[in-house]
Copies of this chain bind each other. A is one copy, B any other.
Amino acid sequence: MKSYRQLCSVAKALDVLGDRWTLLILRELLIQGPCRYTDLANGLPGIASNLLSDRLRSLETSGLVWREAAPPPVATTLFHLTERGRAAEPVVAALARWGTPLIADATPDDAIRSHWVPFSASVFLREHDPGGLPATLQLHTPLGSSVIEITADGVTTRAGTADEPDITLEGMPQVILRFLGGDLTLTEAHEQGLALRGDPAVLDGFHLGAA
């Protein structure tokens, strides 16, 4: 990207992060952790291979990403975030928060990946750290299941199922995302097919579920 050539921290940040796809690549590395090239390509439906290659190289020279070349017999490259790359998480999180209402605009042919769901949810939960800790949320969508664990240490997510979740949410990704993002009330989400099992009181601390 051509530099804006402005002595302003916002412009300088966008000189590095403002290229198309760049912040989505960071999203993937923040969610998935160290990734192979194909893992990234898979989490970024629509990206052209040459662009992914270009962006990774730019991110490397900007110091946000480093590549670990695993020697044979593994013979693969792993792309990692540096500390500076992880420091950009608040930017991605702010975008996730602001973008939540736009989920409603989704068209049926939008691509979706199951790991995007717990990420967006955790962004919201992270900024509404409640009193009643710890809590385990189980999500089920047609794409797969994931778990959000909220402890005093923070919010973590993973794919799969939990043994004894405090609450289970089942429904379409759109509805779960908008509900956990505060964009739908429990009543509205229920009307749109969200099924909730367990103790709804767990959600109270997050200012969710208000009628």
Contacts and interface: CB of A to CB of B under 8 A. Distances in A.
Interface of A: 1, 4-18, 20, 23-24, 27, 45-46, 87-88, 90-100, 102-103, 105-107, 109-113, 116, 120, 173-174, 177, 181
A120 B8 contact: yes
Contact of A14 (B16, B23, B93, B112): B23
Main DSSP-derived SS at the A contact region: helix
Contact of A95 (B17, B99, B116): B17
B24 A111 contact: no
B10 A24 contact: yes
Q: Across chains A and B, which 5 residue pairs bring their CB atoms closest together, nearest first?
A: A13-B99, A9-B99, A12-B102, A13-B95, A7-B112
A94 B96 contact: no
Contacts of A24: 4, 6, 10-11, 14
A6 B95 contact: no
Contacts of A95: 9-10, 13-14, 17, 91
21 contacts: A4-B46, A5-B45, A6-B46, A7-B111, A7-B112, A7-B174, A8-B27, A8-B112, A8-B120, A9-B95, A9-B97, A9-B181, A10-B24, A10-B27, A10-B95, A10-B99, A11-B24, A12-B105, A14-B24, A15-B102, A16-B102
Contacts of A1: 20
A110 B4 CA distance: 8
A184 to B, nearest CB: 13
Given A5-B45, A8-B113, A9-B99, 9 more contacts: A7-B111, A7-B173, A9-B95, A9-B181, A12-B102, A12-B103, A13-B95, A14-B95, A93-B94
Contacts of A97: 9, 90
Residue of A4, A9, A90, A92 with most partner-chain B CB within 10 A: A9
